[in-house]
Amino acid sequence: MAVISMFYGIIISLYFFDSRQHKLPHIHVRYQGCEAVFSISDGALMEGQLPLSKTRLVLAWIEIHKEDLLADWELASTGHEIFKIEPLR
């Protein structure tokens, strides 16, 4: 697992070689004991839960950084080093 961004107490990660579990490009999100998995392509909640206010922040961040996220997904799914992505400010 690699942390790619952190903002407002939210930690966003990608797992290396994780395409076997969900197949679709996705991120793992943690916030104060809550965990969720979001699709990169459309922001759909695939698993878990977050408070609504934090979910909205994550969805905005996904929309802003979709191209960077997809590039990192490709790198992670093949075991290559991924890049950090700017947090929300």
pLDDT, tens only, 37-84: 999 999 999 999 999 999 999 999 999 999 999 999 999 888 889 999
Please, which pLDDT band fits residue 18 given cuts at 50, 70 and 90? low
56's CB contacts (< 8 A; 6+ apart) are none
Q: Where are the beta strands (DSSP E) in the chain?
A: 2-7, 10-14, 26-31, 34-39, 45-48
Residue 34 φ then ψ, to 5°: -95, 145
| pLDDT at site 28 | 96
Residue 44's nearest CA partner among 22, 59, 64 is 59
Q: Where are the domains of the chain?
A: 2-77
Q: How far apart are CA 51 and CA 85, in angstroms?
A: 22
pLDDT at 19 over 70: no
Position of tokens 């759909």?
A: 44
